[in-house]
Amino acid sequence: MNTILIPSFLTFGWLRWLMAAAEEPVPKAGDEAMEEDTERLVRVGAGDERALQQLFDKWKLPLLSFFYRSLGSHADAEDLTLEVFVRLHRAAAGYRPTAKFSTFLFHIAQNLLRNEHRRRGRKPAQPAPPELFEEVVAENGDDGQRLAELEEVLQRALERLPEKQRTALLLVYQQQMDYRSAAAALQTNENALRVLVHRARQLLKSEMEAQP
């Protein structure tokens, strides 16, 4: 058996969703029912700190993954994730549930991500340091190696996508947001969002087809 090093919070699940984004039909929009998380944020606005902790526990890893996939820096991803919750807490008192909670949350995240890209001047993402990696033993060495290679190819392809295309793809596939919510988070319309996702998928598919 071969040992493959993979970031502790980036397992082969990442490869599965990236390959799905490249090859599968785009997911259908979900329902717009009132969410439990929306109710929690309303309670945060009323001073319920336990509700804020519940939101943090539920959304910390999705946000961390969202930022990491776009920035390639675990430290920056953690900083921005914490800043999302700082801003969420500040906004809670005036929050009015006119959209899904995830839309509101990732609108904050998108604004922070855009500001970070401007600050960086879109410098290339840096690899995670060795201490962030854990050993994953693949039952089939050859298959495991191939998966690791595909993961690397797709990650590079994702980093090369234009910022809006990359973010749209992450919201729809990684965060499983419906088109209406993802479009609202990006402050665009559903048709424009569909175009962004389609173009991103086509680029990822081209990268995959170019591999031997």
Please state the separation of Cα 86 from the chain's center in Å: 19
pLDDT at 72: 78
Q: Where are the beta strands (DSSP E) in the chain?
A: 3-7, 133-137
Tell me: the pLDDT tens digits for 162-190? 888 888 888 888 777 888 888 888 888 88
Higher-scoring residue by pLDDT: 142, 170: 170
Domains of the chain: 3-209 (1.10.1740.10)
Mean pLDDT of the chain, nearest integer: 73
Tell me: the pLDDT tens digits for 147-160? 566 667 777 777 77
Count CA atoms within 13 Å of residue 70 on its CB side: 31
Confidence of residue 130 (pLDDT cuts 50, 70, 90): very low
pLDDT at 85: 93
Nearby residues of 95 by Cβ (< 8 Å), 6 or more positions away: 41, 42, 45, 104
